[in-house]
Amino acid sequence: MIEPGQLVMLVSPKGKRYFRVLQTEDVLNTNDGQLQMQNVVHQGYGAVVHTHLGRAYTVLKPTLYDLIKSVKRRTQIIYPKDIGYIIIKLGIGPGCRVIEAGCGSGALTTALAWFVGDAGRVYSFERRQEFASLCRENLEKIGLESRVQIADGDIEQGFGIEKADALFLDVRTPWEYLEHIPGALIPGAPVGFLLPTVNQVSSLLSAMQDGSFSSVEVLEILVRRYKPVPERLRPEDRMVAHTGYLIFARLGAP
């Protein structure tokens, strides 16, 4: 039995994933026929339920990884491997107030909303209205929209927020907005940035030398996957060699 209001992931015979906030009376229209959510409520996680055409769907409780991978995207997104480290470095947890820009498709927004809980708040900024709408839609699909305030606006005017606990910028020219950061955060707050090229990292580091930041760290995260074959265990032939550089710091002098 699953409580109505819980998020479920329904996996089709071909591996297609559907996410739904469970409502007993709902019907899910799939490529394989209709699925009655009442059956999903009664069968519970791990069960197999059938469409009216007899196709078997597996009911699973989604992980944050599943949700990030399912984000409908029209921008580059931040990958789970990078998001994990970002969350830890920024100290994101229940009750946090965190600022991010730009939210783009909302992959990082999803993770921030997941971790801040109902008592926290994510303030997301996005200058392109179509991406702000897409991010909102992606959050609504998984029931996390109430934790996020999306402003479709440019951060060149500042954030209009005070005493937030942390900040992350995934924009092309973050050095242009550094002057707005001290007024938006508590003293000593963690800040982070993602940039795809070393030239951009150099520009950011130069701008950060004004004495407003300390404990600066630059890194990238590589994941090497293995073929899970016990008798011939070896890495996969191809890997994603580069997503972006991560830059972290603390607000204020050491």
Return the H-helix or E-strand segment holding 33: strand 33-36
Q: Which is nearer to ligand SAM, 42 or 74 (CB)?
A: 74
- Report in angstroms how near the CB of residue 119 gets to ligand SAM at its nearest: 23
Judged by DSSP in three states, 176 sits in helix
Judged by DSSP in three states, 216 sits in strand
* Burial annotation 23-47 (CB, 10 A radius, 16+ → b, else e): eeeeebebebeebbbbebbeeeeee
Contact 67, 114 (CB under 8 A): yes
Under the criterion CB under 6 A, does residue 155 sit at the interface with ligand SAM? yes
Under the criterion CB under 6 A, does residue 107 sit at the interface with ligand SAM? yes
- Report in angstroms how near the CB of residue 70 gets to ligand SAM at its nearest: 12
Under the criterion CB under 6 A, does residue 250 sit at the interface with ligand SAM? no
Gyration radius from the chain CA atoms: 21
Return the H-helix or E-strand segment holding 249: strand 245-251
Binding residues with ligand SAM: total (CB under 6 A)? 23
- Report in angstroms how near the CB of residue 5 gets to ligand SAM at its nearest: 26
Under the criterion CB under 6 A, does residue 244 sit at the interface with ligand SAM? no
Structural tokens at position 8: 């479920």
Under the criterion CB under 6 A, does residue 92 sit at the interface with ligand SAM? no
Under the criterion CB under 6 A, does residue 152 sit at the interface with ligand SAM? no
One residue of 170, 191, 208, 248 binding ligand SAM per CB under 6 A: 170
Q: What angle do CA 59, 223, 201 make, to 5 degrees?
A: 120
β-bridge mates for residue 18, sequence order: 10
One residue of 17, 55, 69, 127 binding ligand SAM per CB under 6 A: 127
Under the criterion CB under 6 A, does residue 102 sit at the interface with ligand SAM? yes
Contact 129, 102 (CB under 8 A): no
Which positions from 22 to 61 touch ligand SAM by CB under 6 A, shown as an x/- string? ----------------------------------------
* Burial annotation 76-94 (CB, 10 A radius, 16+ → b, else e): ebbbbebbeebbebbebee
Under the criterion CB under 6 A, does residue 123 sit at the interface with ligand SAM? no
Applying CB under 6 A, which residues contact ligand SAM? 75-78, 101-108, 125-128, 131, 154-156, 170-172
